Amino acid sequence: MTRQQWLEETPGAIYLSIAASLLLLAEGRENLDISQVIVTPELLDQSLVKMAKTSRKVSIAVNVTQLQEVYNVGDLTIEVKSGNVKDGVGLLRLYERTPVNVVALDRELLRHLAQETSSTGVEYMLIYLEDGKVAVLEGERFRVSVPFVNSLAMLHTHPSGACGLSQKDLKSGIELLTEEGLFSGAVTPECAYIMYREGLVDEEDFIRVKKGELRDLRTVKFMHVNI
């Protein structure tokens, strides 16, 4: 039987490509303390996607010159410029806010696929790519797996009532987070359970997550998000 797979541009994928591009840019700058970076508050707002879809250009203000740059993500131009950031927010907040906004923006798609899983047992994988698109792959009954690919985030569906991550999910998720991915999680019709990082994953957290030891991690966090 041929399984479904398709690629589409979604609001969540567009938002993620914008947020991730700035976070990865900051992480790649030597001697930059990202905890001191302040950004324009609009970057945390879901309305950013509407502006991006209309003009295909986004301007982001930051308080440091090291991040001043113009670059492209797919056909979207992102301009990062330094200056006085009025009512700005810390860049670290973007790590936590990004998965919340992605789930909210793609709620209809995620809920539909999770309802399919609840009805048929067939799980789906959503692979969020750098160009503002998401690849959706149909799996098997109560199982979906794909070869490891570089992506910004991955979500997969669980049936209703199973809002959590298995040990296998944790192991594959922490691998993604150490390869520049921002979050990984499982989605049911009611909620999403997300593992995400704040800054770069440190070695101790990597080892502990692999062992299933999830208390008091420094760089890896977990959250429930209502669908």
87 pLDDT band, cuts 50/70/90, is confident
> Where is pLDDT greater, at 126 or 84?
126
Q: 170: which 2 tokens?
A: 């944790």
As a whole number, mean pLDDT of residues 71-93 equals 90
How far, in Å, CA of 130 to CA of 180, rounded? Answer: 11
> Where is pLDDT greater, at 66 or 189?
189
Domains identified in the chain and CATH numbers: 5-9+100-226 (3.40.140), 11-90 (no CATH)
For residues 22 and 80, the answer to whether their CB atoms sit within 8 Å is: yes
Q: Is the pLDDT of residue 142 over 80?
A: no
What's the confidence (pLDDT) of residue 70? 92
Rg (the chain; Cα; Å): 17
84 pLDDT band, cuts 50/70/90, is confident
Closest residue by Cα to residue 185 from 158, 205, 151, 208 = 158
139 pLDDT band, cuts 50/70/90, is confident
Q: Is the pLDDT of residue 144 over 70?
A: no
Q: Is the pLDDT of residue 171 over 90?
A: yes
How far, in Å, CA of 120 to CA of 134, rounded? Answer: 22
- CA-based end-to-end distance of the chain: 31
How far, in Å, CA of 173 to CA of 153, rounded? Answer: 9
How far, in Å, CA of 35 to CA of 200, rounded? Answer: 12
As a whole number, mean pLDDT of residues 57-65 equals 92
Q: 97: which 2 tokens?
A: 């806010």
How far, in Å, CA of 155 to CA of 121, rounded? Answer: 16
What's the confidence (pLDDT) of residue 120? 94
Over pLDDT 90: what percentage of the chain? 83
The one-letter amino acid at 135: A
146 pLDDT band, cuts 50/70/90, is low
> Where is pLDDT greater, at 206 or 146?
206
218 pLDDT band, cuts 50/70/90, is very high
149 pLDDT band, cuts 50/70/90, is low
How far, in Å, CA of 7 to CA of 140, rounded? Answer: 19
Q: DSSP string covering 191-202, please?
A: EEEEEEESSSPP
Strands 153-157 and 183-187: parallel
As a whole number, mean pLDDT of residues 190-213 equals 97
Q: What is the dihedral of CA 113, 115, 119, 122, to 10 degrees?
A: 30
How far, in Å, CA of 175 to CA of 194, rounded? Answer: 14
Question: In a 3-state reduction of DSSP, which class is residue 205?
Answer: helix
